[in-house]
Structure 1
Amino acid sequence: MKRKHILGRVSGLTLLALFSLFVNQYFANPDNGKQEVHNSNYNDSNILEVHFIDVGQGDSILVEINDSAMLIDAGENNQGNTVVKYLQSQDIDRLDYVIGTHPHSDHIGGLDTVINSIPAETIILPPVAHTTKTFEDVLDAVEAAGKQLTKPQVGDTYSLGSATFTIIAPNSEEYENLNNYSVGIKLEHGNNSFLFTGDAEKLAENEMLKNGFDLSADVLKLGHHGSSTSSSSDFLDAVNPEYAVICAGAGNEYGHPHVEILQEMFDRSIKIYRTDLQGTVVFTSDGRHISVNAHEYVVSEEDFISDK
């Protein structure tokens, strides 16, 4: 029996009731969804790759190590096949984890295509319903795959080969802005670390800071495509990255990345990589050192002085 579409099609439900119905129907019991961390012995043969896939104005990130793989977001609706083809080019025939950071279409638009094409073991989405066909398509794909969603629990740590990642956001279930529901994770591999925060804005960043998480990371995926709504000075102080990645579309209508963020990167001498200018960017970690497949984007004073 095909499930009843509850999002945007049922009248007379309060938002609270709709939220409860959504969580009860699609999310696994927290104890069932939680994964045990396996104590894998780290060694030099465990090479981690983080692929920031060029999907235009959106996010899609592949993490692979040993025989394990995780996908964070899959771009807009029209990028699903692009992501699937990229995964296939990397010989990915299954995914240990699929994370949809939040329900905006530039992050989860292609997830249904991915889930319908490549088996996924654990699918993590924040517990917030969205009244769009894009969101319903993802739920349909999850149901067709015989899966339930796993709710991100702050502080939970998961294993990915010899790497681990920890959920650091969202820290509330009541936000006015969907961006702040973004699933945030810190990925650790030996002495190297990566931080991904979806479109989390300054409010959510401040909550991460208040919770006392160790946010320090070598590589930061800048929040909200390099928008000035994210990447506060206090947050950047805590992360203190050597590298920053901006996932954005060439000539996008939002002006991402914003001049203020480029200024911050310039002032802090943070090496920048941009999918809008450089295409797919791949970081490789051996647990001690990090290398990149592209030359950094060099910010000059002309980049922001001319726009002031």
Structure 2
Amino acid sequence: MNPSNQGKTGTHIPFIFILFLALFSVSVFPDNVNAKALKNATFAYLDVAQGNAELIKIGNQAVLIDTGKHSEYSTLQSQLKRLGVKTISTLVVTHPDADHMESADDVIADYHVKKIILPQIASTTQCYKRMMSAISKHKVKRIHPRTGSTLKLAPSCKGTVLSADASSSDTNEASIVMRVTYGSRSFLYMGDATARVENAILASGKAVASDIYLLSHHGSDTANGVLFVKKALASKYKTAIISVGKNNSYGHPVANVVRRAETYAKALYRTDQKGCIIATTNGENLQIKFKKVTHSGSSYNRSSYRSSGATKSSAAKSSSVKDVSEVVYITKTGTKYHTKNCRYLRSSSIKTTLSKAKSKGLTPCSVCKP
């Protein structure tokens, strides 16, 4: 053999060998971040009657989004126990309406909450004051996110804040709206955000498409606009959920909102019909199952559960009693009822009774405090 040819053959062998290894490594060990194995995660939509409470559980870390009302606290506890929750690392309060956060003080005390995420807007209600007192007493870290913030909720699980309107005096409009991702799966939490908030989110161009979309305000027509619902359900699993109480006095969910969700969703589930709705995912696949719930309702006695809160509970109850025939004022498209001279009645003022306003799902204005 010609010595010069022997040398050329020798230089080709390592090159071919290296090329083979490179091709082999690409096919067997793909460079794909999403290929990293994730733990099975639970995204549960708890049945707390006419209210909201949602759980994210990954390993031994739990995040609770809203708590529901005091009357359903033992119902909340039983569902958390069934799901293996002993402590809650993070509590998210979307906004300070009682049906979303009246049990926040109990949750903070009983589940050793380390961090609470809540909007800038405050409230004068007794349940809000109890929550703030519990935050101070138990040295809970407070976070007030801004629109566009990214929150690390649990391992491999983050939340993007789509709205957190610090300038709004309306509790619903100030709701924290958050899109949570885990691997390739996504979950949208709306609080009681209004149509105005939905339109602002769409105008911002932020992603809203989510595998599971929790409709705003228990299926009220003060939100859940056609375009927003359509875009929110433009996802792989196209699942819509409504958290609502059976035979509630507000008429939730509104029929046209239900039809709208059914138009764009592959599946629509309601807590008043299915109970606790439990989604499990490894970041890729997603399965949903249901657990029936027995409600504590009016049988829950706060004073017997937490004696230190008995006086506060009685005071809150007496201060909240109002004559249902009391006159209040509303607007054509608003979500609140007002006193006669409230500044929010400049463009529209419709006289009605307190009972009728409540039956429409309206809540008291945080400015005029009717």
TM category (shorter chain) comes to: 0.7 to 0.9
- C-alpha distance in 1, partners of 2:184/2:38? 15
Greater per-residue helix proportion? 2
Q: Is the 8 A contact 1:80 1:109 kept in 2?
A: no
Correspondence list, 1:1-308, <5 A: 43-159=36-152, 160-170=154-164, 172-241=165-234, 242-294=238-290
Q: 2:146 and 2:166 mapped to 1: Cα distance? A: 11
Quote the residue 2:297 is aligned against.
none
Q: Deviations over 1:118-172 (max 9, x none)?
A: 11121011011111101111111111111242101222222311222111112x3
Q: Distance in 2 between matches of 1:42 and 1:140?
A: 44
* Partner amino acid, structure 2, of 1:161: P
Asked if the contact 1:71–1:95 (Cα under 8 Å) also holds between the matched residues in 2, the reply is yes
Opposite residue 48 of structure 2, the aligned amino acid is: V
| Distance change (3 Å), C-alpha of 1:152 and 1:42 | farther
TM-score (norm 1): 0.78
SS at match of 1:180: coil
Alpha-carbon offset, residue 245 of structure 1: 0.6
For the 8 Å contact 2:233–2:239, the answer to whether it is kept is no
Contact 1:41 1:162 in 2 (8 A): no
The letter for the 2-side match of 1:214 is A
Q: Distance in 2 between matches of 1:73 and 1:269?
A: 24
Distance across 2 between alignment mates of 1:215 and 1:175: 22
Task: Please tell me whether Structure 1 or Structure 2 has the larger radius of gyration of its CA atoms.
Answer: 2
Return the alpha-carbon distance in structure 1 between the equivalents of residues 61 and 34 of structure 2. Answer: 15
Shift of 1:292: 0.6
Distance 1:269 1:121 in 2: 36
CA distance in 1, matches of 2:36, 2:198: 33
Q: Is the 8 A contact 2:233 2:265 kept in 1?
A: no
Shift of 1:184: 1.1
Q: For the Cα contact (< 8 Å) 1:46–1:162, is it kept in 2?
A: no
Deviation at 1:86, TM superposition (A): 2.6
Aligned to 1:25: none
CA–CA distance in structure 1, aligned partners of residues 245 and 37 of structure 2? 35
Partner of 1:49, secondary structure, is strand
Q: Which residue type is aligned with residue 125 of structure 2? A: T
Per-residue CA shift, 1:89-108, capped at 9, x if unaligned?
33323222100110100000
The TM-score with structure 2 as length reference comes to: 0.66
Moved beyond 6 Å, runs of 4+: none
- Whole-Å separation in 2 of the counterparts to 1:255 and 1:145: 38
Deviation at 1:41, TM superposition (A): 8.0
Shift in alpha-carbon separation, 1:42–1:253, aligned structure 2, 3 A = farther
Cα distance in 2 for partners of 1:196, 1:270 equals 18
1:221-256 CA distance string (max 9 Å, x none): 000001111111121232125001100000000111
For structure 2, list consecutive stretches of 5 or more residues without a partner in the other structure. 1-32, 292-370
Structure 1: gaps (5+ residues)? 1-39, 296-308
SS of 1:262 mapped into structure 2: helix
Please give the alpha-carbon distance, in whole angstroms, between the structure 1 residues aligned to 2:231 and 2:263. 16
Letter in 2 for 1:93: K
- C-alpha distance in structure 2 between counterparts of 1:197 and 1:184, whole Å: 5
